[in-house]
Amino acid sequence: MARAKAVRHGLPPGRRTRRRLGQSVEDHPALQAIWDVVAQIPRGKVTTYGAVAQAAGLPGRARQVGYALRHAPDDLPWYRVLGAGGKIVFPPGSRGYVEQIRRLSSEGVKVEGGRIERTALFDPSHD
């Protein structure tokens, strides 16, 4: 279905949501709000895409959080954001999956079977 939508919009598959980000961050207040929330996640803690969206004032926009993280500044701790239930969203064995586990482990977050322990979950709306 995604392919049909992409073709209908005249863009190649997988490219229909890409935008040019050559403008300043001020031109993208939603992205800045998301980045601000992610920057506040403490070392050794994680949260979910949905919780970040909620805390950024964008309830129900978890996918926009993923988009924002793909275009985030290099020093933003993107690896502290996980899917629902504390699950790594990258395919097992992929470069992103391995890198996220490496970074989380270096902060003392235990990852087993692609999931983190519930004790590491952080609610950014109640910091």
Q: Are 88 and 97 in contact (CB under 8 A)?
A: yes
Query: What is the model's pLDDT at position 24?
Result: 62
Tell me the domain boundaries of the chain. 23-126
Considering the entire predicted model, what is its pTM? 0.78
Burial environment of residue 71 by CB neighbours within 10 A (0 to 12, 13 to 18, 19 or more): middle
Query: What is the model's pLDDT at position 51?
Result: 96
Which residue stretches of the chain are H helix? Answer: 2-8, 29-39, 49-55, 62-70, 95-106
Give 10-residue mean pLDDT values along the chain (127 residues): 40 40 69 96 96 96 95 94 95 96 96 92 82
| Distance set, CA 87 to CA 65, 80, 114, 115 (Å) | 15, 11, 6, 4
Query: What is the model's pLDDT at position 28?
Result: 87
Query: What is the model's pLDDT at position 22?
Result: 57
End-to-end CA distance of the chain: 39
* CATH 1.10.10.10 corresponds to the domain 23-126: yes
